[in-house]
Amino acid sequence: MRTTRGRFRLRSAALAATLGAGLLLAPLPAQQAVAASTLTNTGFEADGTGTATPSGWSTYSAAGQNAASFTEAGGRSGGHRLSHWSSSAYKVETYQYLSGLADGTYTLSAWVRSGGGQNAAYLALRNCGSAEQRTDLPVTSSSWIRVVTSVKVVGGGCTVSINSDANAGNWLNVDDLAFTAGSTGLGVKGVDLSALKKNEDFGAAYKNASGGAGDPVALLKGAGANYGRLKVWVNPADGYNTKAQVLATAKRIKAQGMKLLVDFHYSDIWADPGAQTKPAAWAGHSYAQLKTDVYNHTYDVLNALKAQGTTADMVQIGNEINTGMLWPEGSTSNWTQLAGLLKSGVSAAKAVSSSTQIALHLANGGDNALYRTWFDNATAQGVSYDVIALSFYGYWHGALSSLQANLDDVSARYGKKVMVAETAYPFRLDSKDAHENIIDLPSELVSGYQASPAGQSAWLRDVMNVVEAVPNGRGLGVVYWEPAWTAVTGNGWDPTDPSSGNAWENQALFDYDSRLLPAANWFAHR
């Protein structure tokens, strides 16, 4: 942390004297610890403060910068941690070689912090008889975050490695590592393509990273996406996001070998925590009629998808329903009625396909108190579901550590899979059209993540890393929201106003020249 830098400078002379006056001036050979089959000194407690090569570990720097790796007070648990830091640019690796392992898949977990800014800062599993696996450290200057990476061990050996390629003053902390049998990964690496049909109808075209024309669904699948998400409105003013458009885009998604997530808003327009407006056709209906409306609408859309051979693999019963749906009857102020509406949707989805997974979706993914209150009520009312889905936008919903704490808690508390059903991040701040973007000021950004292609990539990578680290394999995946919603005249924010602009094009995964951005490549990661 930044608060320890001054203390490090005060003890740097003593550290140099202990380790040798020439340590900072000339390269030292790698100091190889004795290999074992169990990771040792995982909390860096064996040596106290100021040790460049902790007990059980080895340190290497081609430029003789071993002192950039050191133990110091302030562990996540216990009294100490490993830190990488130097007042000048540095490259250093702290590692431990394991031998005598049974062949199989293993997972490394560690608690980490980083101030960001490095050329590279990551954990790695290498020399394991298979391809090296890495997990980059997220930018989190105050709170610890757990990250994981897994590898297939062939031949009995594996190196656990902590790496920095850093600029002057960049730092990281690592503590409480574990190396255990098992694997990690994400089952859902999704893209919300709800705006795609209208975008293309109004002239949008898409290109690969090199500028060659391509089908956007195929381009995203080629980058590693394996799920497509489509929202459904009942009778919207612009005629899009209805059953007809969902059916058409679902064919394209399934033709690419991707799975399908259908997101029911139960509205004619955007549904979110601040707006859950009933469809105009249902406006005068009683609560009993609304339950029938939900069932019939859900069944109609899903059965049509099944009939054309594109059965939904997952269904959201409502969109960002923090405050309920179909207000006022389905407000959270009347949980009995809200539960009845949810049960109608669940019953319809399961009647079409018993294997379709049911997700319940809230926003504010870092707010654990909200999730506990909401899902305690859903549980008490006997609402059946399979997945807890969250929206998490870091510029609105808090720190990555808050997301992790919430995911860990609710997955264990309710015994459910969890997923981030919506996230996104800008690759620039200016608008391509005349409409002001939702995020368009430097002050609105998440600390450590620039509005750049690299910053967008790092954000998606780190959200995926947090979900992957949910214990017991309950981290299901991540869906990027509207990656193909580029600025096209006619496809604006307001479906009731054809002249409205797009407030989101700077968070798409296609740039202002319609080229696929580097962030999309993270879908291929595990």
Task: Report, as residue numbers or ranges, the catalytic residues.
Answer: 320, 422
Rounded Cα distance between 205 and 486, Å, is 9
Per-residue exposure over 246-274, b if at least 16 CB sit within 10 Å of its own CB, e if not: bbebbbbbbebebbbbbbbbbbbbbbebe
DSSP of 148-179: EEEEEE-SS-EEEEEEEEE-TT-EEEEEEEEE
- In sequence order, what are the residues at sequence separation of 6 or more whose Cβ sits closer than 8 angstroms to the Cβ of residue 482? 192, 193, 194, 195, 424, 504, 507, 508
What are the CA-CA distances from residue 282 to residues 268, 293, 331, 431 (Å)?
10, 8, 16, 37
Closest CA to 462 of 391, 502, 403, 378: 403
- In sequence order, what are the residues at sequence separation of 6 or more whose Cβ sits closer than 8 angstroms to the Cβ of residue 58? 30, 31, 32, 33, 94, 95, 96, 97
Strands 120-126, 69-73: pairing is unpaired
Q: Give the number of residues written for the chain.
A: 526
Closest CA to 236 of 270, 274, 263, 261: 270
In terms of DSSP H, where are the helices of 88-215? 196-201
